[in-house]
């Protein structure tokens, strides 16, 4: 399938940080910036897709109408969605589908979050049928310990070193230095990473992303509306959105599930994380060789290396070499996380997949001042909301 593209007419963000204010403030700020960037009036928005935040009570559960009310009721139709860290991409897919169905021309996609101090934990309460609650309570499988298991796997299978992981943080900190929306804008050395406190062996504090407050928004339109609105200008286009689930047998453990499928009878299918990107490439009729940059889900430094391979930027076990050769830094063959990634931003769960699309858009427009990828023509994002939610967005100019 190669559906018609839709246009990214405007993007906006609220800077990431620990601001301690209601999430709607971050979302409204980002939405106003996106509308301004698009040159579209709020009254002209026909559909609002909101990314839910489970930490903000009732307003967070009905995020789309919360944002619409804060902007001023205009009669727009609304949908709110939640899919953990893939929330922003599934909200974007909802808006894209409505546009492609001919049911609207202008949609606003918004995600924002305000997070507690420390690493994310399960929602409170006794829920013995909730696998996410169980993985914390039965196994002590916090997010950092889960990240650490994958880091150990990469070390055992592919010879990755602590120095390799540290260099991911060094690269992303350097990229985020000139990003006005990043929370952390400070150069980091390999020694800094290796000297930071141990969290879950082998990962140290600077190997793991923080939790943050922040917001991001996108104005999405039909190509016909964009042409009428922009005249001869060529807008950034969304060519594919992948929101696939795993294929049986899924032989890699994906928390909060606490077991994997057996491959005793059937050969393993394409791995879930590989399949996320493959579906996006196939939908767009493009491949990894066509990408100018990538924004990936670097919950930990080791995870970023895994994504190089899942995106097809290199073969299995070759991620460390790609990093060491400087190919994933700005100026290299395929810059990864020129925004600075989650290493520089931290997690604002409903916003982060949208923020990745904002960065790709700025890059394709040539407006990523201080971190611009030269001659960028196409880019891909990837995110994973655990429990079978994957997402990838492919954009081109």
pLDDT digits (tens, 9 = 90+) for 205-262: 999 999 999 999 999 999 999 999 877 578 999 999 999 998 888 888 888 887 888 8
Cite the DSSP H helix spans in 205-348: 223-230, 272-284, 301-310, 319-324, 341-345
User: 């939908």: which residue's tokens?
Assistant: 283
How far is it, in rounded angstroms, from Cα 290 to Cα 134?
A: 42
* pLDDT at residue 265 tops 80: no
Query: Which of 240, 359, 215, 369 shows the shortest CA–CA distance to 295?
Result: 359
How far is it, in rounded angstroms, from Cα 285 to Cα 279?
A: 10
Q: Which of 232-246, 314-328, 338-352 has the lowest mean pLDDT?
A: 232-246
Q: Which of 22-31, 60-69, 110-119 has the lowest mean pLDDT?
A: 110-119
CA 363 to chain centre: 16
Pairing of strands 106-113, 213-221: antiparallel
Q: Where are the beta strands (DSSP E) in 87-129?
A: 106-113
CB 68 within 8 A of CB 78: yes
The pLDDT score that the predictor gives to residue 126 is 84
Q: pTM here?
A: 0.96
How far is it, in rounded angstroms, from Cα 313 to Cα 335?
A: 10
Domains of the chain: 6-118+214-236 (3.40.47.10), 131-204+237-396 (3.40.47.10)
pLDDT digits (tens, 9 = 90+) for 120-134: 877 778 888 888 888
Q: What percentage of residues in the chain have a pLDDT greater than 70?
A: 99
């Amino acid at each position: 399938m190669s559906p018609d593209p839709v246009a990214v007419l405007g993007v906006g963000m609220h800077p990431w940080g620990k601001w301690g204010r209601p999430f709607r403030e971050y979302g409204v700020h980002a939405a106003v910036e996106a509308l301004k960037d698009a040159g579209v009036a709020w009254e002209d928005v026909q559909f609002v897709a909101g990314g839910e935040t489970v930490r903000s009570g009732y307003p967070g559960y009905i995020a789309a109408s919360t944002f619409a009310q804060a902007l001023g009721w205009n009669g727009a139709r609304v949908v709110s969605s939640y899919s953990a860290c893939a929330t922003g991409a599934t909200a974007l897919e909802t808006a894209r589908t409505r546009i492609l169905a001919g049911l609207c021309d202008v949609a606003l996609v918004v995600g924002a979050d305000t997070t507690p101090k420390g690493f994310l934990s399960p929602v409170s309460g006794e829920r013995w049928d909730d696998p996410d609650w169980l993985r914390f309570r039965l196994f002590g499988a916090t997010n950092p310990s889960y990240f650490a298991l994958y880091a150990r796997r990469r070390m055992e299978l592919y010879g990755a070193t602590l120095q390799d992981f540290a260099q991911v943080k060094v690269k992303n900190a350097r990229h985020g230095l000139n990003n006005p929306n990043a929370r952390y804008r400070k150069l980091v050395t390999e020694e800094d990473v290796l000297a930071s406190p141990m969290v879950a062996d082998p990962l140290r504090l600077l190997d793991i992303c923080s939790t943050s407050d922040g917001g991001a928004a996108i104005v999405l339109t039909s190509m016909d509306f964009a042409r009428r609105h922009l005249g001869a200008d060529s807008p950034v286009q969304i060519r594919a959105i992948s929101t696939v689930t795993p294929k049986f047998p899924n032989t890699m453990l994906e928390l909060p599930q606490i077991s994997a499928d057996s491959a005793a009878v059937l050969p393993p299918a394409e791995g879930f994380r590989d399949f996320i990107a493959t579906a996006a490439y196939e939908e767009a009729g493009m491949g990894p060789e066509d990408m100018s940059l990538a924004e990936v889900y670097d919950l930990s430094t080791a995870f970023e290396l895994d994504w190089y391979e899942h995106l097809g930027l290199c073969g299995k076990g070759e991620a460390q070499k790609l990093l060491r050769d400087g190919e994933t830094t700005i100026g290299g063959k395929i810059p990864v996380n020129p925004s600075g990634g989650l290493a520089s931003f931290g997690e604002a769960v409903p916003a982060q997949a949208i923020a990745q699309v904002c960065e790709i858009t700025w890059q394709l427009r040539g407006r990523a001042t201080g971190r611009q990828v030269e001659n960028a023509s196409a880019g891909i994002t990837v995110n994973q909301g655990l429990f079978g939610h994957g997402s990838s967005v492919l954009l081109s100019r």
